[in-house]
Amino acid sequence: MVLFSIPFHEITESFGAAVSCLSTSHLTDEVIRRSKRMILDTLGVGLLGTSTPVFNTVLQCSQQALENSKVWGRPGLSLPPQYAAFVNGVAVHSMDFDDTWHPATHPSGAVLPAVLALAETLPVKPSGLELLLAFSVGIEVQGRLLRFSKEAHNIPKRFHPPAVVGVMGSAAATAKLLGLPAAQSIAALAIACSSAGAPMANAATQTKPLHMGNAARGGLEATQLALLGLEGNAQILDLESGFGAFYPDYVPHPLAEVTPTSRYRWVLEDQNIAQKRFPAHLGMHWVADAAIEARAKFLDKCPNADLSQIKKITLRVPTSRYVDCPLPVSEHQARHSFQFNCCTALLDGEVTVESFSKSQMIRSALKEMLLKVQLENPQDNHSSFEKMYCEIAVETTQGEMFTARCNTFYGHWRKPLSHVDLVRKFRANASTVLSAEVVEGIIYTVDHLDTNQDCSMLWSYMHFNKHMMDRNERRSSALA
Amino acid sequence: INVCTQRSTRYLSAISAARGLHKSALDVVERPAPEETVTSSFGRFIQSVQPRHLSPTVLQRSKRMVLDSIGVGLLGSTTDVFELALQHCQHMYAPDDVSFVYGRQGVKLSPTLAAFVNGVAAHSMDFDDTWHPATHPSGAVLPALLAISDMFHNNSKPSGLDFLTAFNVGIEIQGWLMRFSNEAHNIPKRFHPPSVVGTMGSAAACARLLSLDRNQCSNALAIAASLAGAPMANAATQSKPLHIGNASRLGLEAALLASRGLEASPLVLDAVPGVAGFSAFYEDYAPNPIASLEEHEHSFLIETQDIAFKRFPAHLGMHWIADAATVVHKTLVGLKGGSVSPNLVQEILLRVPLSKYINRPFPETEHQARHSFQFNACTALLDGEVTVQSFHTEALQRPELLALLSRVRVEHPHDNPANFNIMYGEVEVTLVSGDVLRGRCDTFYGHWRNPLSQESLQKKFRSNAGAVLSNERVERLIEAVEGLDHLDDCKPLLAQLQ
């Protein structure tokens, strides 16, 4: 006997409805194009990341017997899907090379590993378009949630966004891939919410990549639990004590209704994404571009100049404690250091993957230059990836001053990488681990994802490694 | 103003400057001592605390906690949510399936998954212990430790004392962390405490049992911080038990990752302006370092702040109101004899603290019923007690219960704060005859101010464990826990649970 009626829980219900009603017919060309770029880029950084110590650590930790989903860059090695999602997610964020959005988060790394790991285990494999749909839903949910808080629009201080919205995105994407009804999608979101949130303090450490891995894993697990019938709070997105727990200013709104014939306005359409040119925190890209320009001016004026003639370097950047690191010791710190990236760009005219290697980091010329850097935080330089700028002023011993300013670095959503440059980045990353043939195979497959009925090639390609023999092959050859 | 906070933000040793911790390169100053930070003090404590630091009171109380936790875990293995979590984990399947699962003889899982499902069992019915400041400390720690113990080779299982030390480290760390925030002293509103401090406690306990060095212990805590925090909204739902399951599992994972060399923030427990660490989970965070064991006599918090064991499986707040309603029940039965008929009752007024997630006039599920002042008051009014059976489906739907529920009004007096150390429960029943009967409870039996006798605690254990184990095993378990500090190794304890 029910003595009261269930009130209409607008917001969460609208999410559940949207997640279950969005279909391939709602994908626009622009969304497809942009998401293919994101997928390509993410795969590339993931492959590169499989060579890092942190990836090896988590892999060792996760190995288990019943293997279902392929580990990237480890031929013959598979793990249960949530652990595959975990290690592959760690790979994607291991070098801070993955995409960044506005409001700030790294959306793809939380979603793609989970979606691929899950897709691999399904008896009937999804088409490329279905894969794209699930991926887009995962990105969309993140974008919508971030817009529920003004604080989310600034460079984060408290919780690391991928750990907050990333896990929700992963839950939504995997729920979508399984075709869960709205009520179960809501359950997946609610369960995922209890796995959300990691403090900023672990950024710039070896643990940061785990935020991404855990987001991918947690979302997938949440969906698996929801599928088994587990329920959480059906108002999870409406409540301050729910998802609102992660923000001081939480004002949620319901998603628009989705009908089979309506047009759906995706966040990704209105707000493009930034893809990085080198593996460091997004803020470093403004600094690098400004420093490269100042260096060019300096060398232009004094073609044979010695960079040790630089007396003082002033950087005008937004306030952000966790990327203010005068003397980084680890590569993780270096990727989160205005000063380091500035000096590298001044010395070398560019910042690359190699810039964060041990040998590059211990250069005495670099260390000397680091001592000359002074940071300033002008009032008009907002801690927001939408509004910030970087100004550099280089003073020489001769008394000359060279300045430059970067408002929008190349790769930012306002100035996206060209297709050629995006593919070039992918090739450079992927070929550290894959042969040229396989690299081209992935490029082709992602490019044709929306027209491909069978995309299982994708995770098969990810499973190669030109430096390693297949684990199974190795065993049989050892026995021979 | 916290001096220690200031000290940690002016941390200027050569090591930290080289690590580039937010200071201008030109301000670097030489200074020794890695012990200055709150975080490193925790790491050092976990690594250096020894069995001899455990006082008799601590031993006694912690053994009671271990006993109760095993019991509720075994009973919890009969619930739907537990079955669900178990299926989930069996699907995940692990090669190192060495750790036992409560109530499933012969079933094994990998240590982390065993910690997960056993943790879910422990909290599945909200029957596990509660502390002040508020959290459920044992359920987050014990499953992980038991799972690890199964990992050790048969010839090198930890001794009973080692086990108890690790257990107490896990509890102690939780208590310490909660004292860093005033907000933590009240019934929670934002993050569910077991998911915040429980994960940290599990990491600490596991690090201790695995004998990690102090840096690894600090890293275990820092890694765990990135796995902590679940919002309150999932309390009173089927997902709540997973908070404890995950706390246990993820703390164990954090310790294992730290043992493999994973590093995280060395300042995670310190208050660094502009970059939140563990402070992310609180509005007001003022940490203090744990004093070095070499220089100070360490007093475990459990020594001065005892724990509450529940008499029936529901949120702690329910125990006050149930005891208050029982007083009225006894009076009514005394007047009229027989059972209480709803027809006698005109109105029921409850005076309870203000707390949204336990104020539910018409709970629909058992999870909601365990978090409903109204439900527990009416049940106690009707039956004279609240028991495990009170939350079964048939009991939830009794017409006489629903009749009473529709006559309940709730008030939140100003002198009744949402705080387990201060709150009270009052029931005022107006009969159709015009008589008004009152019952009040300031300290329920089982609260830390009025702890369960050893007899009552064992009775609860027998009833719980007996639901899934033979009487023989039940008695052997009681014996093993009772003599835990004298066991050379904890095999006798583990054997009964396999």
At A259-288, the pLDDT tens digits run 777 777 888 888 988 989 999 999 999 999
In-domain check, residue A53: yes
pLDDT of residue B29: 33
Task: Using CB atoms within 10 Å of the CB of residue A215, give its burial: 0 to 12 exposed, 13 to 18 middle, 19+ buried.
Answer: buried
Residue ending a domain, among B441, B457, B473, is B441
In degrees and rounded to multiples of 5, residue B207 shows phi and psi of -60, -40
Task: Please report which confidence band the pLDDT of residue B351 belongs to, taking 50, 70 and 90 as the band edges.
Answer: very high
Looking up residue A163, the CATH number of its domain turns out to be: 1.10.4100.10
Residue B104 has pLDDT above 70, yes or no: yes
Distance from CA of B291 to the nearest CA of A (A): 24
> What range defines the domain where residue B360 resides?
316-441
Which of A205, A224, A337 lies at the smallest CB-CB distance from B263?
Answer: A205
In-domain check, residue A457: no
Residue B127: name the closest of B112, B110, B139 by CA: B139
Summarised one tens digit per residue, pLDDT across range A109-123 is: 999 999 999 999 998
User: Which helix (DSSP H) or strand (DSSP E) does residue A373 occupy?
Assistant: strand A373-376
Looking up residue B358, the CATH number of its domain turns out to be: 3.30.1330.120
Residue B47 has pLDDT above 80, yes or no: no
Which residue does chain B place closest to A1, by CA atoms?
A: B397
In-domain check, residue B134: yes
CB A404 within 8 A of CB A314: no
Specify the number of domains making up chain A: 2
Residue ending a domain, among A377, A406, A435, is A406
Task: Please report which confidence band the pLDDT of residue B485 belongs to, taking 50, 70 and 90 as the band edges.
Answer: confident
In-domain check, residue A190: yes
> What range defines the domain where residue A330 resides?
282-406
The DSSP 8-state label assigned to residue A238 in this structure reads T
User: Which helix (DSSP H) or strand (DSSP E) does residue B438 occupy?
Assistant: strand B436-441
Half-sphere exposure of B277 (CA within 13 A, CB side): 28
Please tell me the total number of residues recorded for chain B in this structure. Answer: 498
Lowest pLDDT segment from A10-19, A192-201, A447-456, B361-370: A10-19
Q: What are the residues whose beta carbons fall under 8 Å from the beta carbon of A48, sequence distance 6 or more?
A: A95, A97, A279, A353, A429, A430, A432, A433
Distance from CA of A451 to the nearest CA of B (A): 33
Which of B20, B281, B362 lies at the smallest CB-CB distance from A325?
Answer: B20
Task: Please report which confidence band the pLDDT of residue B267 belongs to, taking 50, 70 and 90 as the band edges.
Answer: confident
What does the CA dihedral A46, A47, A48, A49 come to, rounded to 10 degrees? 50
Same-domain status, B385 and B428: yes
pLDDT of residue A8: 38
Task: Using alpha carbons, list the distances in angstroms from residue A195 to B192, B245, B488.
Answer: 12, 12, 38
| Tokens found for residue B249 | 């599992």
| Tokens found for residue B408 | 């309940």
Residue A297 has pLDDT above 90, yes or no: yes
Q: Using CA atoms, how far apart are residues B156 and A327, in angstroms rounded to an integer?
A: 45
In-domain check, residue B302: yes
Summarised one tens digit per residue, pLDDT across range B85-94 is: 666 555 545 5
CB A86 within 8 A of CB A391: no
| Tokens found for residue B444 | 């329920």
In-domain check, residue B185: yes
N-to-C CA span, chain B: 51
Q: Using CA atoms, how far apart are residues B120 and B112, in angstroms rounded to an integer?
A: 12
B6-20: b (≥16 Cβ within 10 Å) or e: eebbebebebbbebb
This complex has an ipTM of: 0.71
Looking up residue B170, the CATH number of its domain turns out to be: 1.10.4100.10
Contacts of A324 in chain B (CB under 8 A): 22
Residue A71: name the closest of A93, A49, A87 by CA: A87
Same-domain status, A143 and A238: yes
Task: Please report which confidence band the pLDDT of residue B122 belongs to, taking 50, 70 and 90 as the band edges.
Answer: confident
CB B234 within 8 A of CB B240: yes
CB A292 within 8 A of CB A345: yes
Same-domain status, B230 and B294: yes
pLDDT of residue A143: 94
Pairing of strands A401-406, A390-396: antiparallel
In-domain check, residue A241: yes
In-domain check, residue B159: yes
Same-domain status, A167 and A75: yes
Half-sphere exposure of B52 (CA within 13 A, CB side): 4
Same-domain status, A38 and A159: yes
pLDDT of residue A463: 84
Kindly determine whether residue A321 and residue B195, on different chains, have CB atoms separated by under 8 Å: no
Task: Please report which confidence band the pLDDT of residue B30 belongs to, taking 50, 70 and 90 as the band edges.
Answer: very low
Residue ending a domain, among A242, A275, A308, is A275
Contacts of B280 in chain A (CB under 8 A): 158-159, 197, 199-201
In-domain check, residue B450: no
| Tokens found for residue A266 | 């995706």
The residue of A121, A207, A231, A324 whose CB has the most chain B CBs within 10 angstroms, and thus the best one to mutate to test that interface, is A207
Summarised one tens digit per residue, pLDDT across range A132-182 is: 888 988 999 999 999 999 999 888 889 999 999 999 999 999 999 998 888
Residue B31 has pLDDT above 50, yes or no: no
In-domain check, residue A326: yes
Same-domain status, B96 and B226: yes
Half-sphere exposure of B254 (CA within 13 A, CB side): 33
In-domain check, residue A423: no
Task: Please report which confidence band the pLDDT of residue B145 belongs to, taking 50, 70 and 90 as the band edges.
Answer: very high
In B179-278, which ranges are continuous DSSP H helix?
193, 199-209, 214-225, 240-259
Same-domain status, A270 and A299: no
In-domain check, residue B8: no
Kindly determine whether residue A232 and residue B234, on different chains, have CB atoms separated by under 8 Å: yes
Which of A163, A199, A241 lies at the smallest CB-CB distance from B278?
Answer: A199
Residue A189 has pLDDT above 50, yes or no: yes
Distance from CA of A60 to the nearest CA of B (A): 9
Task: Please report which confidence band the pLDDT of residue B75 belongs to, taking 50, 70 and 90 as the band edges.
Answer: low
What is the average pLDDT value for chain B, to the nearest integer? 83
Task: Please report which confidence band the pLDDT of residue A480 belongs to, taking 50, 70 and 90 as the band edges.
Answer: very low
Q: Using CA atoms, how far apart are residues B285 and B292, in angstroms rounded to an integer?
A: 22
Same-domain status, B173 and B81: yes
Distance from CA of B318 to the nearest CA of A (A): 21
> What sign does the CA torsion over B292, B295, B301, B302 have?
positive
Same-domain status, B253 and B353: no
Report residue B85 CA to chain centroid gap: 19
Task: Using CB atoms within 10 Å of the CB of residue A307, give its burial: 0 to 12 exposed, 13 to 18 middle, 19+ buried.
Answer: middle
Summarised one tens digit per residue, pLDDT across range B404-427 is: 999 999 999 999 999 999 999 999
Same-domain status, A288 and A269: no
Lookup result for tokens 């009052």: B426
Who wins on pLDDT, B62 or A80?
A80
Concatenated DSSP letters for A178-220?
Answer: TT--HHHHHHHHHHHHTT---BGGGTTSTTHHHHHHHHHHHHH
Q: What are the residues whose beta carbons fall under 8 Å from the beta carbon of B67, sequence distance 6 or more?
A: B457, B458, B461, B477, B478, B481, B482
In degrees and rounded to multiples of 5, residue B40 shows phi and psi of -70, -30
Contacts of B265 in chain A (CB under 8 A): 201-202, 204-205, 207
pLDDT of residue B100: 85
Same-domain status, B335 and B411: yes
Q: Using CA atoms, how far apart are residues A80 and A171, in angstroms rounded to an integer?
A: 17
Same-domain status, A267 and A297: no
Task: Please report which confidence band the pLDDT of residue A72 belongs to, taking 50, 70 and 90 as the band edges.
Answer: confident
Lowest pLDDT segment from A224-228, B350-354, B384-388, B412-416: A224-228
Report residue B244 CA to chain centroid gap: 8
Summarised one tens digit per residue, pLDDT across range A374-428 is: 999 999 999 999 999 999 999 999 899 999 999 999 999 999 999 899 899 888 8
Mapped onto helix, strand or coil, the DSSP state of residue A426 is helix
pLDDT of residue B28: 30
* DSSP-based helix, strand, coil % in chain A, nearest 5: 50, 5, 40
Same-domain status, B326 and B423: yes
Residue B16: name the closest of A327, A265, A99, A475 by CA: A327
Summarised one tens digit per residue, pLDDT across range B208-266 is: 899 888 888 889 999 999 999 999 989 888 889 889 999 999 999 999 888 888 888 88
Residue B317 has pLDDT above 80, yes or no: yes
pLDDT of residue B414: 95
Mapped onto helix, strand or coil, the DSSP state of residue B364 is coil
Within 10 A of A389 (CB to CB), how many other CB atoms are there? 18
Q: Using CA atoms, how far apart are residues B419 and B423, in angstroms rounded to an integer?
A: 6
Same-domain status, B274 and B363: no
Contacts of A230 in chain B (CB under 8 A): 81, 84-85, 238-239, 242
Pairing of strands A373-376, A310-316: parallel
Summarised one tens digit per residue, pLDDT across range B6-27 is: 333 322 333 333 333 333 333 3
User: Which helix (DSSP H) or strand (DSSP E) does residue A391 occupy?
Assistant: strand A390-396
In-domain check, residue B468: no
In-domain check, residue A195: yes
Mapped onto helix, strand or coil, the DSSP state of residue B308 is strand
Looking up residue A348, the CATH number of its domain turns out to be: 3.30.1330.120
pLDDT of residue A55: 58
Same-domain status, A38 and A172: yes
Which of A196, A201, A210 lies at the smallest CB-CB distance from B275?
Answer: A201
Q: Using CA atoms, how far apart are residues A363 and B489, in angstroms rounded to an integer?
A: 54
| Tokens found for residue B384 | 């004279």
> What sign does the CA torsion over A174, A178, A182, A187 have?
negative
Same-domain status, B301 and B328: no
Same-domain status, A262 and A124: yes
Specify the number of domains making up chain B: 2
> What sign does the CA torsion over B229, B234, B235, B238 have?
negative
Summarised one tens digit per residue, pLDDT across range A16-25 is: 566 556 666 6
Same-domain status, B338 and B191: no
Same-domain status, A369 and A263: no
Who wins on pLDDT, B71 or B105?
B105
Same-domain status, B159 and B299: yes
The DSSP 8-state label assigned to residue B485 in this structure reads G
Lookup result for tokens 């950087």: A315
CB A307 within 8 A of CB A334: no
The 3-class secondary structure across B373-435, one letter per residue, is HHHHHHHHHHHCCCCHHHHCHHHHCCHHHHHHHCCEEEECCCCCCCCCCCCCEEEEEEECCCC
Looking at residue B436, its amino acid is V
Same-domain status, B67 and B209: yes
In-domain check, residue A442: no
Residue A208 has pLDDT above 60, yes or no: yes
Contacts of A232 in chain B (CB under 8 A): 233-234, 237-239
Same-domain status, A211 and A359: no
Which of A82, A201, A241 lies at the smallest CB-CB distance from B232?
Answer: A241
Same-domain status, A262 and A287: no
| Tokens found for residue A275 | 């893809």
CB A300 within 8 A of CB A394: no
Which of B24, B94, B361 lies at the smallest CB-CB distance from A326?
Answer: B24
Distance from CA of A315 to the nearest CA of B (A): 13
Looking at residue B72, its amino acid is V
Summarised one tens digit per residue, pLDDT across range A323-358 is: 999 999 998 899 999 999 999 999 999 999 999 999
Same-domain status, A44 and A67: yes
What is the radius of gyration, based on Cα positions, of chain A? 23
